[in-house]
Amino acid sequence: MPDDWTELYRPKSLKDVVGNPKAVKELKEWGVSWESGIPFKRAVVLLGPPGVGKTSSAIALANDMSWGLVEMNASEHRDGESIRQIAGRASISDTFTSEGEFLSTKEGRKKLIIMDEADNIFGKDDYGGVPALSEIVSKTKQPLVLIVNDFYALSRKSSVIKEKTLQIRFNKIQTATVKVVLRRVSADQQLSVSDRVLELLANNSNGDLRAAIHDLQAIGMGNPEIKEEQALMLDNRLSAKSNYDLMAEIFHGTNPLRAKNTMRDMQEDPGHNLLWIEENLPHAYHEPEDLKRGFDLLARSDIFLGRVSKRQYFRFWAYASDLMSFGVCAIKTRPYNDYVRYQFPMYLMKMSRNKANRLVRSSVSLKLGTSCHTSMKQATHDILPYFKWLYQKNKDFRLATTEELHLEQEEAAFLLDSKVDSSAVKHLIQDLSKKRSGESDEHDLIPVKLEALPQAPKVERSNEETKQKSLFEY
Ligand SMILES: Nc1ncnc2c1ncn2[C@@H]1O[C@H](COP(=O)(O)OP(=O)(O)O)[C@@H](O)[C@H]1O
Ligand SMILES: [Mg+2]
């Protein structure tokens, strides 16, 4: 059984595809029309946003019709040569099964050729993919499905494709429908989830069923009783869109300077960005050399961040930031154009989950106690009340201690007697980043000679959940 719930619950038959009834019906009719010979439109184009069942419907059609399947992903094979190799061969030969067995034409099972992410063929660089595809679209003896997000890019490049294909549009899945699917999945996984949580997840998905199931798995796996905070945490994740933009600039962009500027404009702390880049690097880059160099740069950034924390020397922040943004963007040996669904860092997700069960007060006291060489208990009684008073009254004190004690947002909110997303906390975050950029700006452009870096002490990552660490230490 697949681990990935989106795979596990992929519909096997068109009957199981939820939403988009008109599209599903049209697809079915087109499939059935192949039973009485080659139809006028030999190819269909399924178009629409991600996660609404385009690929699943194509596969389900093949199942329902008992057709074989030839799948190709156009992001990997987008030149004319490989399109002819794979789709072309499958589309002319109707006498072999996909296993290579000989069959007479009459007996020969049909094969559905699915070309996923076909937009990629119509990108800026044209490697002869468009003519090859146009030819196959008009001549194929086997049913062909092209899957695209943006049909207009495709049809502008080829009038043949526009005229000779049947275009079927899939729309976003309605929130109520997403909720129904999520409830079914939860029941099957024996999760206890409140209606409110399902609603939050469904609303967040913005009509993307894959994303919704994915989110449910992210908070539900190994956690049979999902709490509302956990769903709310995903809410924050989606509103933090800039993280996704940054990933796109770094991994898919070709302009390292833009990647660097995007990261600077986000005003996130570099430890946070490092976690994001680290989580997504292996999904985005495929060449071993690129992965190696990418992780090498991240390791170096991590060393700098460790030194910031140890020595309170904030200039290293700029080095770390440049290595992970400019650096990781610049080292790729080829452009990557395939679609990647960027992931929220697992580490942060785990932290937030644990944090929900932890008393913020004790974590603040622990930090105070450690810093003042006294016990947590004593810190709670003797120091915390005064500390809190000062923290609320004096801005300089607040900024300095937030950094020194590596206080996290929840802890700062606790000390300010306000909510995590209150304006008081937002101001604090703004002031902190202003303070930091003031400290690191002038050194922004100093080049770093990678090979000449001295050996740094090992930066240890501890997963101890009892010990609260700040992101700045990563
Ligand atoms: N309409 C749908 N009905 C049932 N499941 C769906 C539907 N759309 C998406 N899913 C779920 O999301 C996953 C990804 O869907 P997929 O067909 O690959 O979307 P798309 O090709 O439109 O991006 C499926 O494996 C399934 O779990
Ligand atoms: Mg798809």
Atom 7 of ligand 1, residue of closest alpha carbon: 53
Asked if 320 and 444 count as a contact pair (C-beta separation under 8 A), the reply is: no
CA of 171 to the centre of ligand 2 (A): 13
| Distance of CA 59 from the midpoint of ligand 2 (Å) | 10
Q: What pLDDT score was predicted for residue 353? A: 53
Give the tens place of pLDDT for each residue, 427-456.
998 898 888 877 654 444 444 444 444 444
Query: Rounded to 10 degrees, what is the CA torsion of 427, 430, 435, 440?
Result: 170
Nearest to 446 by CA among 304, 293, 252: 304
Query: Which atom of ligand 1 lies at the shortest distance from residue 56's CA?
Result: 17
Which pLDDT score is estimated for 354? 55
Question: Considering every ligand atom, which ligand is closest to the CA of 71?
Answer: 2
C-alpha to C-alpha distance for 169 and 151, rounded to whole angstroms = 10
Phi, psi of 359 (to 5 degrees): -85, 120
- CA–centroid distance, 73 to ligand 2, in Å, is 10
Predicted structure pTM score: 0.55
Distance 50 CA to ligand 2 centre (A): 6
* Closest ligand to Cα 21: 1
Which ligand number lies closest to the CA of residue 52?
1
**Residues lower than pLDDT 50 in the chain:** 102-106, 237-241, 357, 441-467, 469-474
Atom of ligand 1 nearest to the CA of 20: 1
Query: Ligand 1 atom 8: the closest Cα is on which residue?
Result: 53
Q: Which atom of ligand 1 is nearest to the CA of 58?
A: 17
Q: In angstroms, rounded to a whole number, what is the distance separating the alpha carbons of residues 159 and 51?
A: 28
Q: How far is the CA of 135 from the centre of ligand 1 (A)?
A: 29
Residue 454's pLDDT is 45
Q: Which residue has the tokens 């290579």?
A: 100
Q: Tell me what pLDDT residue 439 has.
A: 65
pLDDT at 356: 53
**Which token pair is 87?**
């789709």
Q: What is the pLDDT of residue 85?
A: 78
**What pLDDT was estimated at residue 367?**
92
Looking from the CA of residue 170, the nearest atom of ligand 1 is: 22
Q: Which atom of ligand 1 is nearest to the CA of 7?
A: 25
Identify the nearest ligand to the CA of 13 by its number.
1
DSSP states of 114-131 as a string?
Answer: EEETGGGGGSSS-SSHHH
* Ligand 1 pocket test target in 28, 45, 52 with most atoms within 8 Å of CB: 52
| Ion ligand 2 contact residues with beta carbon within 5 A | 55
Name residue, tokens 């190709």. 72
The predicted pLDDT at position 177 comes to 95
Q: Are 67 and 112 in contact (CB under 8 A)?
A: yes
Closest residue CA from atom 17 of ligand 1: 53
Distance 338 CA to ligand 2 centre (A): 12
Distance from residue 457's CA to the centre of ligand 1 (Å): 47
Query: Which amino acid residue places its CA nearest to atom 12 of ligand 1?
Result: 210
C-alpha–C-alpha distance, residues 154 and 424, integer Å: 49
Q: What integer pLDDT is reported at residue 362 of this predicted model?
A: 84
- Residue ranges around ligand 1 (CB below 6 Å): 6-7, 9-11, 17-19, 50-56, 209-210, 213
Which of the listed residues 1, 3, 10 should we mutate to test ligand 1's pocket, taking the one with most ligand atoms within 8 A of CB? 10
Ligand 1 center–CA 86 separation, angstroms:
25
Please write the tens of the pLDDT for every residue from 142-197.
899 999 877 776 777 778 888 999 999 999 999 999 999 999 999 999 998 998 88
Residue 468: partners with Cβ closer than 8 Å, 6 or more residues away: 358, 363, 366, 367, 408
The number of angstroms, rounded, from the C-alpha of 375 to the middle of its chain's C-alpha atoms is: 42
Q: For residue 167, how far is its CA from the centre of ligand 2 (angstroms)?
A: 16
Identify whether the C-beta of residue 222 lies closer than 8 Å to the C-beta of residue 190.
Answer: no
